[in-house]
Amino acid sequence: VQIVRRAVRGIQTAQQTDRDTITRLLYSLGTKKEVERHLRIFSAASHPSHPAKFAVIKVGGAVLEQLDELALSLSFLYRVGLYPVVLHGGGPQLNDIIEREGVVPDYIDGIRVTDAKTLQVARRVFLEENLKLVAALEKLGTRARPITSGVFTADYLDKDKYQLVGKITRVDKRPLEASIRAGALPILTSLAESPEGQILNVNADIAAGELAKELEPMKIVFLNEKGGLFHGVTGEKLDIINLDEEYDQLMKEPWVKYGTKLKLREFKELLEHLPRTSSVAVISASSLQKELFTDSGAGTLIRRGYKLFK
Ligand code: ARG
């Protein structure tokens, strides 16, 4: 019996204690009724015939640094029988290394210009980060599978402008479904292959979006450090954004800056491709449970209209 002591009031990997701990933790989040309702809704989303419809979780590079928090939150979902598809970035880790080697990171419109040297380091760094996350999960008794190729096929986005950057043209969900059916969380990096087998770098937010369009999950979760999206003037956390009613106005706000605009546009485009019951959440790793299993949530919820669940 391996006992893992740490945060979130301690998740233990022994059979019965584990169940009790998880149950207690679950019911400490909100009322029994709301927690059970959310658990029911999310459990119903995935089915043996389409097991990857609960959630796509995009883990930003900075969140990978909070490895224990992250592994605990994902393990929690696993323990209650929910299997998210996890996709991670690695931007900050990559910048650290290439800068040390004297390469200056170069971005155009938020996309990393990826030359051969950068790709070489990116591949090594992303695979390392992937293994680190998988190992942290396995250490908590959560089965996880590194899936580091064979899911995303891409063409060059614009070879002259961005060099070795891909635009995803196909997503093969079979490796992800196979992983979940076998009882392991699929953990993906955002590298793609061209039809000829050339590895191409893909922005992780964009890859998460393409993954979501293929899987049509209930939730698309973007884990960030700040735990949500924030009002540019008041600094307050934005609770819910109803795109149907608020998008145009929001995009006109002077405080909605370049990065936020890009995200909102991405969320809107993504949700337009998904059933109305799907929604996006922006949340920190440590508050993920509260966001998912309570009515009030903890981060920012973005949806098309008012009706969240039919
Ligand atoms: N738990 C529900 C969900 O995941 C509601 C979350 C509400 N979140 C918020 N930030 N207001 O869909």
Cross-strand bridge partners of residue 153:
170, 193
Q: 């933790």: which residue's tokens?
A: 25
Confidence (pLDDT) at 4: 45
Cross-strand bridge partners of residue 166:
156
Q: pTM (2 decimals)?
A: 0.92
CA 271 to ligand 1 center in whole angstroms: 16
The two beta strands, 111-112 and 107-108, are: antiparallel
Q: 């043209």: which residue's tokens?
A: 169
Confidence (pLDDT) at 8: 46
CA 292 to ligand 1 center in whole angstroms: 6
Confidence (pLDDT) at 232: 87
CA 267 to ligand 1 center in whole angstroms: 16
Distance CA 245, CA 206 (A): 24
Whether complex ipTM tops 0.85: yes
Q: Are 64 and 133 in contact (CB under 8 A)?
A: yes
Sequence letter at residue 77: L
**What is the b/e burial string over 94-128, where b = at least 16 CB atoms within 10 angstroms of the residue's CB?**
bbebbeeeeeeeeeeeebbebeeebbebbbebbbe
Q: Is the CB of 300 under 6 A from ligand 1?
A: yes
* pLDDT tens by residue, the chain, 310 residues: 444 455 444 444 545 566 667 777 788 888 899 999 999 999 999 888 999 999 999 999 999 999 999 999 999 999 999 999 999 999 999 999 999 988 889 999 888 999 999 999 999 999 999 999 999 999 999 999 999 999 999 999 999 999 999 999 999 999 999 999 999 999 999 999 999 999 999 999 999 999 999 999 999 999 999 999 999 889 999 999 999 999 999 999 998 887 888 899 999 999 999 999 999 999 999 999 999 999 999 999 999 986 544 4
Cross-strand bridge partners of residue 155:
167
The H or E element that residue 187 is part of is strand 185-189
The two beta strands, 55-59 and 219-223, are: parallel
Distance CA 189, CA 158 (A): 21
CA 310 to ligand 1 center in whole angstroms: 15
From 289, 291, 294, mutation site for ligand 1 pocket: most ligand atoms within 8 A of C-beta: 291
Q: Is the CB of 218 under 6 A from ligand 1?
A: no
Confidence (pLDDT) at 306: 67
Q: Is the CB of 301 under 6 A from ligand 1?
A: yes
The H or E element that residue 171 is part of is strand 166-171
The H or E element that residue 282 is part of is strand 279-283
